[in-house]
Amino acid sequence: MKLFGTDGVRAKAGEFLDSFLAMRLAMAAGIYFKDKSITNNILVGKDTRRSGYMIENAIVSGLTSIGYNVIEIGPMPTPAIAFLTEDMRCDAGIMISASHNPYYDNGIKFFDAHGNKLNEDIERKIEEIYFNDKLIQDSKVSMDQIGQAKRIDDVIGRYIVSIKNSFPKDLTLKSLRVVLDVAHGASYKVAPTVFRELGAEVIVINDQPNGLNINENCGALHPSHLASEVIKFRADVGFAFDGDADRLVVVNEKGEVAHGDSLLGVLALYLKEQGKLKSSVVATIMSNGALKEFLNKHEILLETCNVGDKYVLEKLKTIGGNFGGEQSGHIIFSDYAKTGDGLIAALQFSALMLSKKKSASAILSQIKPYPQLLTNLKISEKKDLEKIKGLKELKKDLENKNINYLFRYSGTENLIRLLLENKDIKILEKEMNNVINFFKKALNE
């Protein structure tokens, strides 16, 4: 059985992801990291979901049972865990979060001692340990070898300092009125603090987490409330984060929600103009064709990778790059953070507005994304796509019509995600019907 998906282990809390799985998974990860241990400490953070209490206690139990000491820091953004794991010299970091998912889901993400997400080889090794009953049993300790756990509540200051250091020293946010939608999630304290300390006039919405309202009709996945608040308060810009604040959605002063690839493009150009862009930009295979066109016009190369911010990071390391992301809002400035960080991306966009002395709408209108249609089709089984009869011919037909396509299975559900892109929406709608009918027949018979 496979535990890890595209971003750690994620499932419905209390069902597949119960306290027993969390405890044993923590033991397996601890056994793996023990071989490389320097401080014998592992950092554990979480978002604001009620199930976080259950999973956190199970993880602490698992780690201390094999002799690890645990530092618990409570609700903090995922990028903060990546930063603090390295900053506090821990052997590893664990974030309990299902990111943008509803409250009833939860997840467990791991970071190594340098704050990097684990690659698939390491995840596979942890899975092997998880299913090795003898190794799990033999790794238990007793008496004075049992680990300790302590809670530290003041580490938020370290993360705030690191975030503020990513913002240009010669700029201030004093001229900006900003609306922040913190999604009743992990950034509900840190995001308003950062923006206020840098001088912005801040209006905060959805900052009353109760364990059950994270991401509920708010945040990066539901920015319509933010859009109306930006207009209501005549704000210069609105920023929406998801539950663990590793993704960002921008709303301009007109209440228009920015396309993720438009945001990537203008931020990439901003870095290049400052002489800070180290190589090609990295985006996923879902990126819009208009992004590549815009970057190429400004003599910036674009490289693509699989969906998932960890694959963007891996590609950046391979090419020696420092900027990339996903159209969903995961934006990586690797000079400042080890993973996608919504706060850093929001500050960089604010700096872009201030340095250019232009409105958010004027900046973002430089890129007009091509129409895309995305359908999530429920299926009965996941067949090897390469072996589906007639798929090669379907792809060839789409290519002949200048339609970009992406067909991929969900990592956690029995779904196939069907993406089509073309400059003509009418052509897209017709072809999407054909594609849906093809896969319904091929995968449900």
> Which among 19, 99, 187, 328 is annotated as catalytic?
99
Q: Quickly tell me which residue has 């900006």 as its tokens.
A: 176
Residue 66's contacts (CB-CB under 8 Å, 6 or more residues apart) are 27, 30, 31, 34, 139, 140, 141, 147
Whether 139 sits among the annotated catalytic residues: the reply is no
Q: Quickly tell me which residue has 């090669």 as its tokens.
A: 392
Kindly provide the b/e burial profile for residues 387-397, where b requires at least 16 CB atoms within 10 angstroms of the residue's own CB: eeeebeebeee
Show which residues are catalytic.
99
